[in-house]
Chains A and B, each alone.
Chain A
Amino acid sequence: MAYADVGLGNEGVGDICLAVQTRSLFACLLHWIIFTAVVILAVTGIYIGYPQYYYGRGEAYDVFVMADIRYFHLLAAGALIASVIFRFYLAFTASCNRDIMQFIPTPSNVMGAAKLAFYYLTFRGKHAHYRFINPLGGLGVFIMAALFAVQSITGVLLYAHGADPCLWGWAGANWLVDAVGGQQNARILHKLSMYMLIFIVIIHVYMQIWKTSMFAEGDIASIIGGYKIFRYSDIGHFADRYGIRITEPPPSGERMTKASHAMEEGSGQNAP
């Protein structure tokens, strides 16, 4: 990873900025595929739930609005499920992506999330820095993934229950309907999960825009290119155990080169 002597305005020399890789380019791509799929699912899903005749004018042999929209809904659902599964797989592999522990709500993650939330609301004290997603974001992603699971299961149930048991055989199984509490319950769950996902997306998008404009750490850049910016003065209290630790004050010249090498060794699992 590179370091650069980047000044930001008037502060003069001293604050070194470091570009740290938080995810690979492929993980970024998956994020944007998921984003597109979720937008398509929400828009088509809202039509399926609340259809408007305006789009169905014409003869029934000519017009296939609902049928087409259901088709795109299903297509986007397939893309979403595939992308989420692949991203889940990536979370276990490849040093630059191995962030699975950030998404599991362990007690330390939940505490970290609470502390960060407190900081974002009150700005009291200092906040920890994380190489990968921070615990608050991780919790949000965990909830989102759970909601995706609910949506996928209830969605396939709504689509295929009652169909001949072929590819969709498991979705045609009555035990699945009983497990969610009946056909109508499946629909209520599907609708409520949609609203909860919209809730989370609003918070997520707002937080990213706010965070990047408030702290200038390149959060939005990191989901496009994979790298975000840390300031040397901040990462002395680097909290992420998969991240980078620097315990000495910033040296100059060749000692700075050594420090950056220390960071390279510290990438991935083996933080000193």
Chain B
Amino acid sequence: MCRTTQNSASITTDERIETFEGMDRRAFMSFCAKIAATLGLAPSFIPQVAEAVEGAVRKPSVIWLHFQECTADSEAFLAMNYPSVEELVLNILSIDYHETIMAANGDQAEEALKKAMADNKGKYLVVCEGAIPMGTPPGPAGKPGMFCTVAGRTAYDLAKDVCKDAAAVICVGTCSSYGGVQAQRPNPTGAVSVGEALGIPTINIPGCPHNPVNSVATIVNYLLLGSLPKTDRYGRPLFAFGKRIHDHCLRRAHFDAGQFVEKFGDEGAKNRWCLYKMGCKGPQTYSNCPTVEFNDGTSWPVKAGHGCAGCTEPNFWDAMQPFYERLPNVHIPGVEASADKIGLTLVGAAAVGAAGHAVYTFANRDKFTDTIEKKKE
């Protein structure tokens, strides 16, 4: 039912229409319904979503850039079954440059990039995956940003060049949205988010990896309305990142009941109790994982029995670790201890100090002037 071609540049208009008509209409409408639901639109919008997706005579050109990343965001995007990757890449969008899946390499790949930028100047969408390093490698040949280079250009130069004529920049994944794992303390390469490196506002769809339903929905929002969705302070679309996981978690009833898993595999775990004590970061994480789930609704971490790691939050590698504790250690210079340790030490010191003071002063009270004992004399 689905055609696969290796090179999008060779597909003709006739072939495109044929593939559309060859696609199962029900599957296509199901896709539109899912996207409409993700965007928070009423069912009456489904025909408009369908119109926007299939009616684009010129599919939007998408240039997908990779920087410091593990490619899981591409993997997630490509693992979507609904629509399948072929439909996404070839029929719904025109992904003109994607280092992982494009057939060309070397000079031809660079040519494809330049051609896509020139043909669609001001109209192409840039999807960024991965953080941009701003640090300078040590050694005499080191220049700023050389920790990541593509085709001889640093990631920063590549991003600057491609993004300047883009209609919008969409950052998928925690790395491009916030800096990601390489930006974790002590951040040896100086990795920063794409928005921070270039100084431009970006749509951020964080997650480690991001949920591809959210990125596809954002692109469809653009197709449908010609603009990008409303975002929060961190540039995250509100339709996906407006609610805390804790507030629409399937195990919330067990949290409110006070029923918690104490150890993986115990009775509580078997009864699917709340993972709060196993370090679940649901109360402080904003995402739509409980509703949309991953891999076409198969599961998500809490449903599978592991606490949320908080991967859509800024600085999550530092703030949300240790994953199995509720809070990270407090970083006071010279002291690295959990808040509990610091607190209990303080309280212990107070108790010991008070006890010592009491013993000392009561034992010696007749020696002191001005006390009641002295006044009796």
**Quick check: is A202 within 8 A (CB to CB) of the other chain?**
yes
Residue in contact with A195 in the complex, picked from B232, B256, B326, B347, CB distance below 8 Å: B347
* Residue numbers in A under 8 Å from B256 (CB-CB): 60, 64-67
* Residue numbers in B under 8 Å from A10 (CB-CB): 376-377
Question: Are A203 and B372 interface neighbours, CB within 8 A?
Answer: no
Within 8 A of B (CB), among A139-198: 158, 162, 174-175, 178, 182-185, 187-188, 191-192, 194-196, 198
A205 CB to nearest chain B CB (Å) = 9
Question: Are B233 and A187 interface neighbours, CB within 8 A?
Answer: no
Interface string of A49-69 (1 = CB under 8 A from B): 101110110111111111101
The number of chain A residues with a CB under 8 A from chain B is 55
- With A and B bound together, what is the CA distance between A175 and B313 in angstroms? 15
Of the four ranges (under 10, 10 to 19, 20 to 34, 35 or more), the interface on chain B belongs to 35 or more
**Quick check: is B340 within 8 A (CB to CB) of the other chain?**
yes
Residue in contact with B376 in the complex, picked from A11, A49, A69, A183, CB distance below 8 Å: A11
Question: Are A123 and B254 interface neighbours, CB within 8 A?
Answer: no
- With A and B bound together, what is the CA distance between A69 and B256 in angstroms? 9
Question: Are A202 and B351 interface neighbours, CB within 8 A?
Answer: yes
* Residue numbers in B under 8 Å from A13 (CB-CB): none
**Quick check: is B255 within 8 A (CB to CB) of the other chain?**
yes
Question: Are A60 and B330 interface neighbours, CB within 8 A?
Answer: no
Question: Are B361 and A191 interface neighbours, CB within 8 A?
Answer: no
B102 CB to nearest chain A CB (Å) = 38
Question: Are B354 and A202 interface neighbours, CB within 8 A?
Answer: yes
Question: Are A196 and B346 interface neighbours, CB within 8 A?
Answer: yes
Q: Interface of chain A, helix or strand or loop or mixed? A: helix
**Quick check: is A115 within 8 A (CB to CB) of the other chain?**
no
Q: Given contacts A9-B376, A51-B276, A174-B232, are A191 and B327 in contact (CB under 8 A)?
A: yes
- With A and B bound together, what is the CA distance between A30 and B345 in angstroms? 31
**Quick check: is B277 within 8 A (CB to CB) of the other chain?**
yes
**Quick check: is A241 within 8 A (CB to CB) of the other chain?**
no
A122 CB to nearest chain B CB (Å) = 9
Question: Are B354 and A206 interface neighbours, CB within 8 A?
Answer: yes
Question: Are B343 and A194 interface neighbours, CB within 8 A?
Answer: yes
Q: Given contacts A192-B343, A214-B371, are A53 and B268 in contact (CB under 8 A)?
A: yes
Residue in contact with A188 in the complex, picked from B244, B253, B339, B372, CB distance below 8 Å: B339
Question: Are A184 and B375 interface neighbours, CB within 8 A?
Answer: no
Within 8 A of B (CB), among A62-120: 62-67, 69, 120
Question: Are B260 and A8 interface neighbours, CB within 8 A?
Answer: no
Q: Given contacts A53-B262, A215-B372, are A11 and B339 in contact (CB under 8 A)?
A: no
- With A and B bound together, what is the CA distance between A127 and B276 in angstroms? 52
Interface stretch (choices B73-81, B169-177, B362-370):
B362-370
A171 CB to nearest chain B CB (Å) = 13
- With A and B bound together, what is the CA distance between A206 and B254 in angstroms? 40
- With A and B bound together, what is the CA distance between A211 and B309 in angstroms? 50
**Quick check: is B315 within 8 A (CB to CB) of the other chain?**
yes
Question: Are A66 and B258 interface neighbours, CB within 8 A?
Answer: yes
Q: Which of A11, A53, A64 has the most CB of B within 10 A?
A: A53
* Residue numbers in B under 8 Å from A195 (CB-CB): 339, 342-344, 346-347
Q: Given contacts A162-B286, A191-B340, A196-B346, are A214 and B244 in contact (CB under 8 A)?
A: no
Task: Provide a sorted-by-A list of 13 A–B residue pairs whose CB atoms are within 8 angstroms.
Answer: A8-B375, A53-B259, A61-B253, A69-B258, A123-B364, A126-B370, A182-B313, A184-B320, A191-B340, A192-B343, A210-B357, A214-B361, A214-B372
- Kindly list 20 other residue pairs between chains A and B, CB separation below 8 angstroms, not including A15-B375, A64-B256, A174-B234: A11-B375, A11-B376, A51-B276, A53-B258, A60-B254, A63-B258, A64-B257, A66-B255, A121-B357, A123-B364, A162-B243, A182-B314, A187-B284, A187-B326, A188-B327, A192-B339, A195-B344, A198-B350, A199-B350, A216-B375
